[in-house]
Amino acid sequence: MANEIRLLLADDHAVVRSGLRMLLQAQPDMVIIGEAETGQEAVQRAVELAPDVVLMDIEMPGMNGIEATRRIKAEAPATAVLALTMYEDDQYFFEMLRAGASGYVPKRAAPDELVSAIRAAGRGEVFLYPSLAGRLVKDYLQRGPAGEGDAQNDDLTPREQEVLTLIAEGYSNNEIADRLVISAKTVDRHRENIMRKLNLHNRVDLVKYALRKGLIGLDE
């Protein structure tokens, strides 16, 4: 099938990989092309197979998922890495994002949330799991470029500000389209306009900007 998302599963627990296979093989737009039990194997298979998305556990024998993510992004930069882990503490969360992960999904997430995260990563987007988004922006508010794009705030149309707020809150393009009663293509066009006007480069930058401007809060 055209436009299938090619997946590599990296987890040292066979039962977890089996459950993921059952869920993801049922998706018409996804195909599992490989599996790995260690971080080293994940790097090797990612380089060999060039998957679109790697589902990466963090705690694995030998090389952990953080270092594996860092190496995959260095050796196969076109491959997106999505953390899928039982850990939700700040240290792992931030380390995975700094290593280059496109998102972070706790294993307690609902199946449809994981599927949405994979699709977002496959589109080159950053998936912000709602309960973790506040932690992300608290960290990046301190680290991000001070005032980047702030002067152009008045250039955003009211609709673009609506779209920006929903993106920063972690909604997907389709979810934003449903809420605003517009097409997903229109949402994507608004997102591109916002990023161009504000000189931002990805969803993480959009979240930082929205927090600085008070468009969203830090409530858990």
**Eight-class DSSP state of 173:** H
Question: In this structure, are 42 and 68 located in the same domain?
Answer: yes
Residue-level pLDDT at 31? 96
Instruction: Establish if 175 belongs to a structural domain.
Output: yes
Instruction: Establish if 132 belongs to a structural domain.
Output: no
- Supply the range of the domain harboring residue 155: 138-212
Kindly give, in sequence order, each residue whose CB lies less than 8 Å from that of residue 127, ignoring residues fewer than 6 positions away: 82, 102, 103, 104, 105, 116, 117, 120, 121, 170
Strands (DSSP E) found in the chain: 5-10, 30-36, 53-56, 80-85, 103-106
Neighbours of 214 (CB within 10 A): 7
- What single letter denotes the amino acid at residue 205? D
Question: In this structure, are 97 and 73 located in the same domain?
Answer: yes
Calculate the alpha carbon distances from 159 to 68, 178, 180, 189, 200 in Å.
Answer: 40, 14, 9, 12, 18
Instruction: Find the mean pLDDT for residues 155-159.
Output: 86
Question: In this structure, are 123 and 149 located in the same domain?
Answer: no
d(CA 208, CA 136): 9
Question: In this structure, are 117 and 156 located in the same domain?
Answer: no
> How many domains does the chain divide into?
2
Q: What's 119's domain CATH number?
A: 3.40.50.2300
Most confident segment among 38-42, 59-63, 145-149: 38-42
Q: Is 97 helix (H, G, I), strand (E, B) or coil?
A: helix
Question: In this structure, are 111 and 20 located in the same domain?
Answer: yes
Instruction: Establish if 57 belongs to a structural domain.
Output: yes
Question: In this structure, are 66 and 87 located in the same domain?
Answer: yes
Q: What's 198's domain CATH number?
A: 1.10.10.10
Instruction: Find the mean pLDDT for residues 28-35.
Output: 96
**pTM, two decimal places:** 0.66
d(CA 65, CA 67): 6
Phi first, then psi, for residue 88 (nearest 5°) are -125, 15
Instruction: Find the mean pLDDT for residues 25-43.
Output: 95
pLDDT tens digits for range 84-127: 989 887 788 878 888 888 888 988 888 999 999 999 889 887 78
